[in-house]
Amino acid sequence: MIRGLFICFGVIFLAANAYIIETFPGAMRSPGFYNNPVNSGYGFDYKEYIKRHTRGAPIMIYTLNDCIPCRKTKSLLQQQYPDVPAYFMELGHGYPFERRLERDLLEVTGQDTFPYIFVCGRFIGGSSDLFNLHNYGRLRPTVNSCPATGFHRD
């Protein structure tokens, strides 16, 4: 009886924490992530966050854990472009803010697969799109003409 009561309270506690994290992202701080998110009434809206941070990096990639195209993309950049600042945000722990960020990435880009790759603040597509730019010799000139040099802090 008492054990069942503890399990019941544990489930209620976990549900309450999930609600708090989804509703109040400040309850689970991640450095630099919660820079003025907008409350859309359905949780926080990360569309502006995505736009702001992708403009602030020559290459910004949103990846997933255990994603083979994501690994190939990272490998290409590490081997062929070690001098280019490339920033990665890896998702996949199942936190509510990650699910919301993934929904907002879909809305911003129209793409529903990982990785989401932004070059000079412009969404270029996924891994195959980055490889095409590289294979046709257009990635280096694009990155060299990019005015972004690092994350802008508001």
Q: What is the pLDDT of residues 21-80, one digit of tens each?
A: 333 333 333 334 444 455 544 457 789 889 888 988 899 999 998 899 999 999 999 999
Q: What is the pTM of this model?
A: 0.69
Closest to 44 (Cα-Cα) out of 64, 61, 28, 55:
28
User: At 85, phi and psi to the nearest 5?
Assistant: -65, 115
**Whole-number CA gyration radius for the chain:** 18
Residue 95: partners with Cβ closer than 8 Å, 6 or more residues away: 21, 28
